[in-house]
Structure formats: structure tokens, C-alpha cells
Amino acid sequence: MMVRRIFITASLAALALPAPAWAEALPRLQVWRDESCGCCAGWVDHMRAAGFPIEDNVVRSLAAARRMLGTPSDLLSCHAGLIGGYALEGHVPAAAVTRLLSERPAGIRGLAVPGMPVGSPGMDVPGLAPDSYDVLAFDARGGRTAFMRFRGGTPV
């Protein structure tokens, strides 16, 4: 009986503890997306599940957000984001965003996953093998480099 009482007391005390420090440290992710885009909502769910606080902006057109973010037109996908001063375009996995925020490489304006690779966050298609794709880093002068490579949602 005493062991059970100690266990219950310890369990209730654990519930009162603050969230882990890493969860508190993640900056707010602003997202701009079209209301009818199911894969965009899937990506938002992926980022939320990774612990990012989300400001979800449903808009008629993403053009103004993309101009503000400076996203190159050849890297466009279906939704845009801003986190920690970095632009995001498309189905960028949370692992790439976490790495970007941790390393803060000089000169990088943002990350993009052009198109809609199968298996990327929000683009799960039952019965289809996931694509391999690069998350591209872009700078303010139009330069691009491969930042991370993924197969589906898994880094490779």
C-alpha cells in the first residue's frame, strides 16, 4: 500500500513539472497556406508533432508572403513559412529545420523542398515508395546548396 501511495504521489508531481527545455526553446513557426491544401495541413501537423508552436495563416494567395520571405520562384511548392528569421518553402522536414536553427549557417536565407516529393512530411501516399530528395538551402543572391538529403521523412 505504501509503495502504491509513493508511486501515485511521484506520478502526480511529475505532471506538475514544466515542459522539457527543448520544447520551450523552439521558436514560433509562421505558416502561410491555402485553405484547401490537404498536404499543407499535413506538413503543419508534422511540425506541430515535432514540438514547433504554429501560427497557421490561411490565405487566398501566398504571393505577398513569398515576396516578404524572398523565396526564389523556381523553389516554390505549396506553402511557405518563417521561423527564427529563416524562410521555409514546401515540405521541409522538421529534422532539417531543427538542424538549421541549431547550426545557424552564415548566409542562408532559408530552406526549400521544391515540388511535392512522395513521402515528405504531409505527402504520405499509401502504396507508393517514398522519393529521395534534397532540402535546398538558398541565400539572398540566388545561390543554392544541398542542405540535407531525405528518403521520405528520413535523413539519408
User: Residue 116 has which C-alpha cell?
Assistant: 511535392
pLDDT tens for the chain, 156 residues: list them. 544 443 333 333 334 444 444 445 799 999 999 988 999 999 999 999 999 999 999 999 999 999 999 999 999 999 999 999 999 999 999 999 999 999 999 999 999 999 999 999 999 999 999 999 999 999 999 899 999 999 999 999
pLDDT number for residue 142:
86
Whole-Å CA distances, 83 to 18, 22, 66, 96: 23, 16, 14, 12
Residue 9 CA: distances (Å) to CA of 1, 2, 17, 55, 117 = 12, 11, 13, 37, 48
Q: Are strands 54-58 and 29-33 parallel, antiparallel or unpaired?
A: parallel
Question: What pLDDT does residue 137 have?
Answer: 98
| Closest C-alpha to 87, from 29, 27, 26, 145 | 29
Helix (H, G, I), strand (E, B) or coil at 50: coil
Q: Of 62, 52, 59, nearest to 98 (Cα)?
A: 52
Cell of 111: 530552406
Record the pTM.
0.83
Asked if residues 47 and 97 have their Cβ atoms less than 8 Å apart, the reply is yes
Class of domain 20-155: alpha beta
pLDDT, residue 126, reads 93
